[in-house]
Amino acid sequence: MLLEVRNLSAGYKSQGKEIEAVKNVSFSLDENDFLGIAGESGCGKSTLLFSILRLLKRPGEIFDGEVFFKGEDILKMDEETLRKKRWKEFSLVTQSAMNALNPVYKIKDQIMDVILEHSDYTKIEALEIIERVLQMVGIQKERMDSYPHQLSGGMKQRVAIAMALVFSPSLVVMDEPTTALDVVVQRSIMEQIDEIRNTNKFSMIFVTHDISLLFEISKRIAIMYAGELVELGQTKQVYLNPLHPYTSGLINSFPKLTKETKEYKGIPGKIPDLSKPIIGCSFKERCQNRKELCNTRPEFKEVIPGRWVACHFPL
């Protein structure tokens, strides 16, 4: 087991208001795993990732829970120990390609600073590493002398991915890395990531609101709703046989290439306000199967080996 998240709760406290953006989330990740986390915008995906990496900044706060990485609790580790593990053991690719790179430094300097921070390589050796990782994501080495604004959005995102891979970490966390890009570029980057994962083994948590993309690429998938995981399992099984009504609604909401284009319908209603306490199942307002029991909170539990769901009446 590489990563184990147990009962993680986190959120934001500001002006007396408390937003519980991550509620009691548990899941685990194996070596060389690929977990996709899907959920609507604002459901707490970024908050979850940043909590796992202990990057949440005020007013953000972790309320409760444990995050074991290779057996050690990241949330309890002292800061210096954690700092030395960062990027060598786990790295991050952030939401927008545009802002992940510092606009005032050349590409090579931004990759160089992390190499020199955590290793004894000389600058010349570091440059060779930079060349190699850039090549890996399909960027010519001459580009390392460019500033971010001189690159296209797709190239910037490739650079950000290359940067995340310099130390071949065992975990790479990607927060909507392709959201800002057009579909063609997005696809080619996804293929590239797949290819790299074939040669360099690493585990990946890939977060997006684009659930159809996740169904195509991920090995396992977790569905997040209003700060909670509502379903988790092998991607294929979840797709073919969704257990949570929300998952099933999501699957029906995008067109399928295999079927005749008939109708695809959205889920009526909208996600609940996270700043107010939610009683019972968070999805009940929008659920067609809701019953009396749904006024108590359903537990997120393993119903079939490897399949987790938080619903009193799984489909």
Partner 1 sequence: MSFSYLVRRLLLSIPTILIVTVIVFVLVRLVPGDVVDLIIGTQKFLSEEQILKMYEDFGLDKPIFVQYFIWMKSMLSGNLGISLRTGEDVATMLLQRLPVTLELAFLSIFVSIIIGIPLGIISARKKNTFVDNLIKVVGLVGLSSPAFWIGTIFIVIFSFYFESFTIFGYVAFFENPMKNLQVFLLPSFTLGLMIAAQILRITRTSMIESLSMDYVKVAYSKGLGKNKVIYKHAFRNALSPIITVTGIQLGYLFGGSIVIENMFALPGLGRLLLQSVNQRDYPVIQAIILFIVIVIIILNLLIDFIYTIIDPRITLG
Interacting residues with partner 1 (CB under 8 A): 14, 50, 53, 55, 57-59, 82-88, 91-92, 94-96, 99-104, 113-114, 117-118, 147, 149, 160, 163
Secondary structure (DSSP) of 168-187: --SEEEEESTTTTS-HHHHH
How many chain residues bind ligand ADP (CB under 6 A)? 15
Residues in contact with 11: Cβ distance below 8 Å, sequence separation at least 6, in sequence order: 18, 19, 20, 21, 22, 47, 60, 61, 63, 227, 274
Q: Under the phi-then-psi rule, with left for phi > 0, alpha for psi from -120 to 50, and beta for the rest, what region is 95?
A: alpha
Helices 153-164, 123-136: axis angle to 10 degrees equals 120
| Residues 23, 184: Cα–Cα separation, whole Å | 35
Binding segment for Mg ion (CB under 5 A), chosen from 43-51, 85-93, 121-129, 137-145, is: 43-51
Give, in order, the Cα–Cα distances in Å from 201 to each of 13, 128, 174, 192, 204.
38, 21, 16, 14, 10
Residue 103 interface partner, choices Mg ion, ligand ADP, partner 1, none, CB cut-off 5-8 Å depending on type: partner 1
**Out of Mg ion, partner 1, ligand ADP, none, which partner does residue 219 contact, by CB within 5 to 8 A per kind?**
none
Closer residue to Mg ion (CB): 13 or 209: 209
H or E element, residue 211:
helix 211-217
Tell me the closest approach of the beta carbon of residue 135 to ligand ADP, in angstroms: 32
| 118 binds, options partner 1, ligand ADP, Mg ion, none, Cβ within 5 to 8 A by partner type | partner 1
Is residue 63 within the footprint of ligand ADP (CB under 6 A)?
A: no
The span from the CA of 127 to the CA of 182, in Å, is: 31
Closer Cβ to ligand ADP, 33 or 228, answer by number: 228
Instruction: Report yes or no: 51 and 8 within 8 Å, Cβ to Cβ.
Output: yes
For residues 65 and 24, give the distance between their C-alpha atoms in angstroms, rounded to a whole number.
8
DSSP 234-245: EHHHHHHS--SH
In the list ligand ADP, partner 1, Mg ion, none, the entry touching 226 (Cβ below 5 to 8 angstroms by class) is none
Q: Is 153 in the site for ligand ADP (CB under 6 A)?
A: no
The answer to the question of residue 59 lying near ligand ADP (CB under 6 A) is yes
**x/- site string to ligand ADP, residues 267 to 306, per CB under 6 A?**
-------x--------------------------------
Number of residues that bind Mg ion (CB under 5 A): 1
Give the residues lining the site for ligand ADP (CB under 6 A). 12, 14, 19, 21, 39, 41-47, 59-60, 274
